[in-house]
Amino acid sequence: MKELQKIGVIAKHRKKEAAEIIRELIEWLKGKKVEVFLDSDSAALINAKSQYLKSEIPSLVDLIIVLGGDGTLLSVARLVDGKDVPVLGVNLGALGFLTETTLEELYPLLEQVLTGDYQVSERMLLNTHIHRQGERLTQYPVLNDVVINKGALARIIELEVYIDKAYVNTFRADGLIVSTPTGSTAYSLAAGGPIIHPTMEALVINPICPHMLTNRPIVVPADVKIEVILQSEMEDVHVTLDGQVGFALRYRDIVEIRRATGRIKLIKSSSRDYYQIWRTKLKWGER
C-alpha cells in the first residue's frame, strides 16, 4: 500500500453534528503529519474556508474520509471514478451499508491505514448512457443502481429490455431497477431482489411491481450490455442514478448500461465481515 500523506475529508453538509468530528479528525491527522484537504461545504461546517470544490478533492489526495451516510458516499463515488483513491466511509447516518465504519472504530482503523495495514473492497461501477434519436445525451457513473420509474400519476409503463442486442422481455411495470452487487441491498432488495455478495461479477435486473407475476428479478453476467427502451408515450417517466441524479425520459429513449472499466476502492473495517454487516443492518435473527 502506498504511503498516505494527503487525506481529504468530505462530510454531509447538512449534518451539523459533524462539525466537532471534523475538528477532532483534523487535529488528529495533523498530529500524524498528514496534510488535510476539506471541500468548501465541509469547511463551512467548522466556520472555515476552503478554495476547493468537492469535485476537486479526489485529484489532490491519497485517501478520502467520508463522514455521513450511504448517500454521501454515493456522491463521492461519482467523483473518484477513474482515480486510484481509496475511500473510508464513516457512518453518521441510520443504516450505513457503505459507510460501515463507526466513530468508535475510526481512529484505531486510521492508525492501521496510515501504516499501510488495511484492506480494500473493490466495487464495480456502471457507466450509464442515455440516447435519444441516435444522439447520446448524457453519461454518469453509478455505484448502486439505475432506476427507471413512472411518476406518481402515470400509468404502468412498458420497458423493452435487450442484453447484448438479444431481446429479453417487455416489462409492463411501475419501473425497472438495474443494480450492481453493491446496490443489491438498496432499492432492489426492497423490490424483492436477491442479495448479491459485493465482490461478485453480476448485475440484477429487477422489475418494480410488474403487471405479470411471472416477471421476476434476473441475475446476469457483469460484462453484458443492457439496453432499456421506453415504449410508453405521454407518460411521466424518469431515470434516477444512485437515487441522486435524475433525468426525464421520452418515448423511445434508450438507457444503456455497461460495467465501467474503473472501480471504487472502499476501505474495509478490520473488525467485521460482510455477513456480520448484513446481520446487523438487516436485523437478521431478531424477534
pLDDT per position in the chain (287 positions), as tens? 567 889 999 998 777 788 999 999 999 999 999 999 999 999 999 999 999 999 999 999 999 999 998 899 999 999 998 788 999 999 886 667 788 888 888 999 999 999 888 889 999 999 999 999 989 988 889 999 999 999 877 789 999 999 999 999 999 999 999 999 999 999 999 999 999 999 999 999 999 999 988 899 999 999 999 999 999 987 789 999 999 999 999 999 999 999 999 899 999 877 777 787 788 778 787 77
Consecutive H or E run containing 266: strand 254-267
Q: Which residues touch 115 (CB under 8 Å, ≥6 apart)?
A: none
Task: Please confirm, yes or no, whether 236 is among the known catalytic residues.
Answer: no
Looking at 3.60.20.10, 3.40.50.10330, 2.60.40.1180, 3.40.50.300, the CATH number of the domain 6-119+268-281 comes to: 3.40.50.10330
Q: Indicate the pTM of the whole model.
A: 0.91
- CA angle 10–179–259, rounded 5-degree value: 85
Residue type (1 letter), 177: I
Write down the catalytic residue from 39, 41, 70, 273: 70
Read off the C-alpha cell for 64.
478520502
238 SS3 class: strand
Read off the C-alpha cell for 211.
403487471
Looking at 3.40.50.720, 3.40.50.300, 2.60.200.30, 2.40.110.10, the CATH number of the domain 125-261 comes to: 2.60.200.30
List the domain boundaries for the chain.
6-119+268-281, 125-261
Consecutive H or E run containing 63: strand 63-68
- What single string gives the DSSP state of each residue in 112-181? HHHTT---EEEEEEEEEEEEETTEEEEEEEESSEEEEEE-TT---EEEEEEETTEEEEEEEESEEEEE-S
Q: Which residues touch 182 (CB under 8 Å, ≥6 apart)?
A: 98, 123, 124, 143, 144, 198
